[in-house]
Amino acid sequence: MHVKAIKMRWLTGGVNYSYLLSTQDKKKSWLIDPAETLEVMRDLTSDEVGSIEAIVNTHHHYDHAGGNVTTLAALKEKGNHLSRVIAGSQRSAIANDIPDNLQEYTLGNINILCIRTPCHTQDSTCYYVRDTDTKEQAIFTGDTLFTGGCGRFFEGTGEEMDDALNVRLMKNLGNSANWENVKVYPGHEYTLGNVKFIREYIYLHKSDNERFNKLETFAKANEVTTGQFTIADEQAFNPFMRLDDPIVRRQVGDSQGSSARSQIMDKLRQMKNNA
Ligand SMILES: [Zn+2]
């Protein structure tokens, strides 16, 4: 399979990504979160335009779903008359295919599992994709999971984000040995900001988390980090997925390790919001 990351809203600070997910032979594609139609269309070749079978949203926010109508029209103008819009709820404009939790799709040789992860929005959906030929795996996480971070809890609680990230996602991505194989494609390029937060507030010392040191080095040297890290990496360095790490607990003020996981999640989110 192929994943093409398309930068959107970088000049205005949104640093969003749309993604073209294509089969190995590039005959079939999904276009994920094409919020800025002009920026997306100018990055697509005519073959890519012709391959798109569905527009797909990770959640209803305008910087992800706001381009559904105009992108469908632009694709039509280029000769692709697709009509399928897959999204977590009708809050995404013209959504006409709303997957249940754990609903599966196939796109050529790619199997896609929809994992609903309510919290950032109640309709947030992650798409876990596996190429049955090449064995490549990836997950499109929208604003639920970022590299080194997670989305704000606009429509949910810390308890829901813990459930979303650490239960709903993890139990559907195979055993722990497989986590190294699942590349993460989030909705925004927020990695450098997340790294700065983690170094300043959580892993203050180089000896605290070896794998985080590697993320920090990479993020400081590369503008684009999407698709460069795996679920196993996130498990190793993302504090929002390490709620029982004694260092994380100490840094949010729970040296005794007695707080509920949801409280640690809430405290982390608060600290990040105020950083
Ligand atoms: Zn959002």
What average pLDDT does the segment 32-50 reach? 98
Provide the β-strand partners of residue 142.
186
CA of 129 to the centre of ligand 1 (A): 21
Same domain, 149 and 67: no
Work out the pLDDT band at 105, boundaries 50, 70, 90: very high
For residue 103, is it within any domain?
no
CA of 235 to the centre of ligand 1 (A): 22
CA of 64 to the centre of ligand 1 (A): 7
Check residue 126 and give its pLDDT: 98
Q: Domain count of the chain?
A: 2
CA of 120 to the centre of ligand 1 (A): 7
What average pLDDT does the segment 10-30 reach? 96
For residue 105, is it within any domain?
no
CA of 107 to the centre of ligand 1 (A): 25
Same domain, 248 and 134: yes
Work out the pLDDT band at 177, boundaries 50, 70, 90: very high
**How far apart, in whole angstroms, are the C-alpha atoms of residue 118 and residue 156?**
7
CA of 265 to the centre of ligand 1 (A): 18
**How far apart, in whole angstroms, are the C-alpha atoms of residue 224 and residue 5?**
9
CA of 256 to the centre of ligand 1 (A): 34
For residue 73, is it within any domain?
yes
Same domain, 209 and 73: no
CATH number at residue 270: 3.60.15.10
For residue 116, is it within any domain?
no
Provide the β-strand partners of residue 182.
137
CA of 59 to the centre of ligand 1 (A): 7
CA of 153 to the centre of ligand 1 (A): 10
Same domain, 34 and 89: yes
4: containing domain: 1-98
For residue 106, is it within any domain?
no
Same domain, 36 and 80: yes
Same domain, 159 and 222: yes
CA of 240 to the centre of ligand 1 (A): 17
Among 80, 98, 116, the domain boundary falls at 98
What average pLDDT does the segment 62-71 reach? 98
Residue at 238: amino acid letter: N
For residue 110, is it within any domain?
no
Q: Is 131 helix (H, G, I), strand (E, B) or coil?
A: strand
Q: Name the one residue in this structure whose structure tokens are 């040296």.
A: 255
Same domain, 93 and 173: no
Same domain, 148 and 251: yes
Same domain, 179 and 137: yes
Average pLDDT, the chain: 97
Check residue 171 and give its pLDDT: 94
End-to-end Cα spacing for the chain? 38
pTM, rounded to two decimals: 0.97
Instruction: Tell me the two tokens of residue 108.
Output: 């050529």
For residue 51, is it within any domain?
yes
pLDDT digits (tens, 9 = 90+) for 184-238: 999 999 999 999 999 999 999 999 999 999 999 999 999 999 999 999 999 999 9
Count CB-CB contacts under 10 A for residue 271.
17
Work out the pLDDT band at 114, boundaries 50, 70, 90: very high
Among 48, 83, 98, the domain boundary falls at 98
Check residue 210 and give its pLDDT: 97
Count CB-CB contacts under 10 A for residue 72.
23
CA of 152 to the centre of ligand 1 (A): 8
**Signed CA dihedral, 146, 144, 1, 89: sign only:** negative
CA atoms within 13 A on the CB side of 30: 24
Same domain, 195 and 63: no
For residue 114, is it within any domain?
no
For helices 191-201 and 210-221, angle between their N-to-C axes, nearest 10 degrees: 140
CA of 270 to the centre of ligand 1 (A): 17
Same domain, 15 and 149: no
pLDDT digits (tens, 9 = 90+) for 190-204: 999 999 999 999 999
Same domain, 144 and 83: no
CA of 2 to the centre of ligand 1 (A): 24
CA of 118 to the centre of ligand 1 (A): 12
CA of 228 to the centre of ligand 1 (A): 21
What average pLDDT does the segment 119-147 reach? 98
Which residues sit with Cβ closer than 5 angstroms to ligand 1, an ion?
61, 143
